[in-house]
Amino acid sequence: MSSVHPESLLAEVAALPSLPGVYRYFDAEDQVLYVGKARNLKKRVSSYFQKDHGGTRIGHMVSKIRRMQTTVVRSEAEALLLENNLIKTLSPKFNILFRDDKSYPYLKVSGTGVPPKSSAAPSGAEAYSRIAYYRGGVEKKHRYFGPYPSAWAVKETIQLLQKVFRLRTCEDTVFSNRTRPCLLYQIKRCSGPCVGVISAEQYAQDVAQAEAFLRGETQVVLKAMEARMMVHSDKLEFEMAAEVRNQMNALSRVLHQQSVDNVSDTDVDILAVKVQGGRACVNLAMVRGGRHLGDRPYFPSHVEDGHAIGSMAVDDDTSADIQSLEVTVLESFIAQHYLSIPVPPALITSEKINAKVIDAITSQTGIKVSAVHNPREQRRSWLEMAEKNASIQLARLLAEEGSQQARTRALVEALDLAPDDIDTLRMECFDISHTSGEATQASCVVFQNHKMQNSEYRRYKIDGITPGDDYAAMRQVLMRRYGKVAEAIKAGEADLKLRMPDVVLIDGGKGQVSMAKQVFETLGLDLALIVGVEKGEGRKVGLEELVFADGREKAYLGKDSAALMLVAQVRDEAHRFAITGMRAQRAKVRVGGGRLEEIAGIGPRKRAKLLQRFGGVRGVEDASVEDLMSVDGISRELAETIYQALH
């Protein structure tokens, strides 16, 4: 095996220290192959090059190694954390990867929640906290609860808080410009702070109780409500007492409806893993504040490759046993997931996790984390529920992947394609979108590995054409997308990043295909790659025909054709991506994307005055502070705020 590796690499391996650390392997194209950790770098890395791994996955990976990097750390726990940080950053092709393109949602409670100190103090929106769905960075001036497994879980919690505590959800600008209560007040979902129906002190008390409820202190909240009710009753304020009583009843109903109600387990994550057919699913269920918020499935990449190579590394450590695939997947998830997500103090797992993984998470977060893999009573029911959901989600994934593979295979046969590997078939689809020539945009979406590759989508802003000329727009986007590719092919410098797809799908009939043909002829590219999707008679779905640029006759695949289903799926995704980009661009041109409304102190009336005075957002942007002050209701302080926000 060593004969295929550079002498400099083998010398570097021989010189490694016998210390804990992390190693990275790179191939001839300098792409990262694998990231691993070791308690003894010299022993672990040497084992890759001293053994003959044959035609195994390990041997395949080792044969590609041309360069390596190592980092020495102080302990194995540090090595574990660094390893998984690098895995998430570099996405090595032979590691088990958990990719998650979405951040977790939170429930945000705005402001400090502290009422004004005196009646003379300002009592604007900042004095009345707002509850809202939130994703993004955390600001210290607000409070955040979560994370929640889904947007649905956050919105359900907001509805619950509206029913019980009647907290506001309106934007600050709406709040500041209300002159009478809104519909939410009428249906008893808001206490009407915008028009002074409730005092700032009373509202702050409701906010404090809502936050205590979100922390799981339900009994404390109920006792506080009961005390408030008795105080109102003693003062003969029976209507106020009845309001608090109704709040208590609503909260009691909510607690009764919850399938999970265990005060001792306020914050817990339940993790169940299922492996089948070369794929794996980790199902994460969340309990926060004693309430079960739902679950979320994760499907790792490179499961078998990562396990095979990881098992070799474990086997090399004589103090450890070879792990099962389920344990390897679950440990990889825990190590990667909690690098960026707050970890609860208790984890319930379907497999026994190495204590070193838990210790590393504890040392990183500063929170004492415990893991239980054989729970009892209520925890057992949680785990069984998570295991069942993992099985269901994995079965769904396998069914969907089988269906997508069948569609890809059908398209290959229908178009008489000959890809090296059906899994690598790459299709790029283009669509043009605009509104009567305004804000013209082109979209390019990518289908590969039997699924849409969202990270490779591209939008192109089309300039310098006659508004509404779709043919010119198509010419421009194709020239911009494939011009450099054609140059690289002619120069013999084409690589994976500058390669032609197997199919170039055009959302259009003969006209658009003819334009694509002209572009490809100019660039010297293969016309057989171009396939147009022409709408059928009456523009009915399922009657589409395929149009070719190389002289082939039109093809009708049939309404129930799996190939047509795939073509329609990709075409519709290109259309969706184009039209959302066009609408965003149009909104930005027309009203600045709502930038004025996002400025504190600018409500609908002042915004309308500014737009009327300066003729649009661009005029407001060009205005000086003194010009802005000339508008009725705009003080110097507000004018400076507007100027800074727009610059």
Sign (positive or negative) of CA dihedral 243, 246, 248, 251: negative
Confidence of residue 351 (pLDDT cuts 50, 70, 90): very high
Lowest mean pLDDT among 224-233, 471-480, 631-640: 224-233
Instruction: Give me the pLDDT at residue 272, please.
Output: 95
- Cis? peptide before 20, omega within 30° of 0: no
* pLDDT, mean over the chain: 82
Q: Rounded to an integer, what distance in angstroms lies between the CA atom of residue 449 and that of residue 317?
A: 35
Average pLDDT over every residue of 231-250: 75
What's the mean pLDDT in 262-269? Answer: 69
What is the rounded CA–CA span in Å between residue 404 and residue 407?
Answer: 5
**Residues 430-449, mean pLDDT to the nearest whole number:** 83
The pLDDT-based confidence of 414 (bands split at 50, 70, 90) is: confident
More confident residue, 416 or 612: 416
Name the pTM for this structure.
0.67
What is the pLDDT confidence band of residue 514, given thresholds at 50, 70 and 90? very high
Please report the pLDDT score of residue 592 as a whole number: 47
pLDDT greater than 80 at residue 237: no
Amino acid 430: pLDDT: 93
Q: Are 634 and 606 in contact (CB under 8 A)?
A: yes
What does the pLDDT read at residue 119? 46
Radius of gyration of the chain (CA): 30
Q: What is the pLDDT of residue 349?
A: 94
56 against 485, higher pLDDT: 485
- pLDDT on residue 320: 47
Provide the pLDDT confidence category of residue 154 given band limits of 50, 70 and 90: confident
For the segment 587-592, the average pLDDT, to the nearest whole number, is 51
Which of residues 122 and 14 earns the better pLDDT score? 14
Note the pLDDT of residue 521: 93
Whether the predicted pLDDT of 630 surpasses 80: yes
pLDDT at position 591 is: 47
CA distance 226 to 247: 10
Q: How confident is the model at residue 68 (pLDDT cuts 50, 70, 90)?
A: very high
Q: Over the stretch 597-611, which tens digit does the pLDDT of each residue have?
A: 667 778 777 887 887
What pLDDT, on the 0 to 100 scale, is given for residue 117?
52
What integer pLDDT is reported at residue 274 of this predicted model? 93
User: What confidence score (pLDDT) does residue 582 get?
Assistant: 67
Q: Tell me if 220 sits within 8 A of 134, measured CB to CB.
A: no
**What's residue 316's pLDDT?**
52
Mean pLDDT of all residues in 236-253: 73
pLDDT given at position 273: 94
Question: Could you tell me the pLDDT band of residue 28, with boundaries at 50, 70 and 90?
Answer: confident
Q: What percent of the chain has pLDDT over 90?
A: 19
- Of 461 and 617, the structure prediction assigns the larger pLDDT to 461
Report how far residue 268's alpha carbon sits from residue 273's, in angstroms, rounded to the nearest whole number: 17
Determine the Cα–Cα distance for residues 56 and 497; give it in Å rounded to an integer: 28
**Reduced to 3 states, what is the DSSP secondary structure of residue 21?**
strand
When pLDDT is cut at 50, 70 and 90, the band that residue 383 belongs to is: very high
Which pLDDT value is given to residue 598? 67
Q: 291 pairs with which residues across the strands?
A: 288
Highest-confidence segment of 105-119, 302-316, 456-470, 609-623 = 456-470
Delineate the domains of the chain, giving CATH numbers in brackets.
2-90 (3.40.1440.10), 106-257 (no CATH), 267-395 (3.30.420), 422-589 (3.30.420.340), 595-646 (1.10.150.20)
CB of 547 within 8 A of CB of 531? yes
Mean pLDDT, to the nearest integer, of 373-384?
87
Cβ neighbours for 330, distance < 8 A, ≥ 6 positions apart: 271, 273, 282, 349, 350, 351, 353
Average pLDDT over residues 547-561: 85
Rounded mean pLDDT, 129-137 = 86
* pLDDT over 70 (residue 327): yes
Task: Indicate the SS3 state at residue 434.
Answer: strand
Question: Is the confidence at residue 291, as pLDDT, over 90?
Answer: no
Given a cut of 90, whether residue 23 has pLDDT beyond it is: yes
Per-residue pLDDT averaged across 127-136, rounded? Answer: 87
When pLDDT is averaged across residues 311-326 and rounded to a whole number, the result is: 62
CB atoms within 10 A of CB 60: 16
Flag whether pLDDT at 56 surpasses 70.
yes
Residue 370 clears pLDDT 50, i.e. is over it: yes
pLDDT of residue 352: 92
641 pLDDT higher than 90: no
* pLDDT of the residue at 584: 65
Residue 387: the pLDDT is 93
42 vs 6, higher pLDDT: 42
pLDDT at 115 over 60: no
Of the pLDDT bands very low, low, confident and very high (cuts 50, 70, 90), residue 121 is: very low
The whole-angstrom separation of Cα 486 and Cα 522 is 10
Mean pLDDT of 99-125: 65
Most trustworthy range by pLDDT among 11-25, 396-410, 579-593: 11-25
The CA distance from 313 to 108, in Å, is 44
Token pair belonging to 461 = 């802003």
Which of 45-49, 266-270, 347-351, 414-418 is predicted least confidently?
414-418
**Does residue 368 surpass a pLDDT of 50?**
yes
pLDDT band, very low/low/confident/very high, at 457 (cuts 50, 70, 90)? very high
At residue 270 the predicted structure's pLDDT band, cuts being 50, 70 and 90, is very high
